[in-house]
Amino acid sequence: MKNSTVDDCKIIDIRRYTDSRGYLSVVENGIDIPFDIKRIYYLYMVPEVARGAHAHKELQQLLIATSGSVDVIMDDGQEKKTFHLDRPWKGLLIPSGLWRDLENFSGGAVLMCLASEGYDEKDYIRDYQEFLNYKKQ
Ligand code: TYD
């Protein structure tokens, strides 16, 4: 989605079930998110560095800080919007065609990503100027 904007990013409340034994959250294909999950990966033991710094041409994602917190800065080439993920039931839905930077990982943070496609380096734009050109095309 070349014409996607930061306003197309959405925080969703992930279903949760709780009783005296604690909490359980679930994300299921066809029910909770607008794409089918093909891949899951997660970032953890991240030191004081920034990660991300890329866009995807096709990939859609749901990011969840299953532990700790992290800032996700979304950028459509015109506007930036920061999302603070700090609860295991809070998910950030990211459409394709947007630049993201991941910053301020707290100690012990785990950032899980549910992705609509398998890993494909050709889907990445890792150069910011190239991203700006892509959005203008
Ligand atoms: P990278 O894209 O640099 O991480 P991030 O942008 O989230 O900070 O990925 C780090 C390494 O992991 C890189 O060598 C590619 C590899 N990788 C895979 O092999 N499969 C995957 O699904 C992902 C997300 C990364």
Whose alpha carbon is nearest atom 25 of ligand 1? Answer: 119
In a mutational test of the pocket of ligand 1, which residue from 40, 41, 60, 131 has the highest number of ligand atoms less than 8 Å from its CB? Answer: 41
Q: Which ligand 1 atom is at minimum distance from the Cα of 53?
A: 6
On the question of pLDDT at 31 being above 90, the answer is: yes
Number of H helices, E strands in the chain: 1, 12
- pTM, two decimal places: 0.96
For 6-16, the pLDDT digits (tens) are 999 999 999 99
- What does pLDDT average to over the chain? 97
Question: Which H or E run contains 54?
Answer: strand 51-56
d(CA 108, CA 68): 6
| Percent of the residues in the chain that have a pLDDT greater than 90, as a whole number | 98
d(CA 46, CA 59): 23
Active site residues: 54
On the question of pLDDT at 2 being above 90, the answer is: no
Cβ within 8 Å of residue 27, ≥6 positions away: 14, 15, 33, 37, 62, 91, 114
Q: Which ligand 1 atom is at minimum distance from the Cα of 115?
A: 22
| Mean pLDDT for the stretch of residues 52-79 | 98
The finding on whether 113 has its CB within 6 A of some atom of ligand 1 is no
